[in-house]
Amino acid sequence: MQKQDIYQQISDLMVKLFELDAADITPESRLYEDLDLDSIDAVDLVVHLQKSTGRKIKPEMFKSVKTVQDVVDAIDELLNSEQS
């Protein structure tokens, strides 16, 4: 899966889960400051990403995530590391 596809999935998921405007979601958007997500929202996002990827996401992988692009990179890394 390409990073652009991952980004689109994450963006669509955020719109659906958190009722965000798709126009407000950019790769540079900060999850907490710009999109007003909280820690509960972050857990919801991880749970849904685990379901959609079929892979377990380790909590430490998401501790350093700050922006939408960070989420895309983390999911890309997860998908590619487990295929090898």
Q: What is the pLDDT along the chain (84 residues), one digit of tens a residue?
A: 899 999 999 999 999 999 999 999 999 999 999 999 998 999 999 999 999 889 988 888 888 899 999 999 999 999 988 554
Q: To 5 degrees, how large is the angle CA 16–CA 10–CA 22? A: 55
Q: How many CB atoms lie within 10 A of CB 74?
A: 19
Q: How far is CA 33 from CA 6, 15, 60, 68, 77, in A?
A: 22, 16, 20, 12, 24
**CA atoms of 23 and 81, how far apart (whole Å):** 31
How much is the pLDDT for 84?
46
pTM for the complete prediction? 0.90
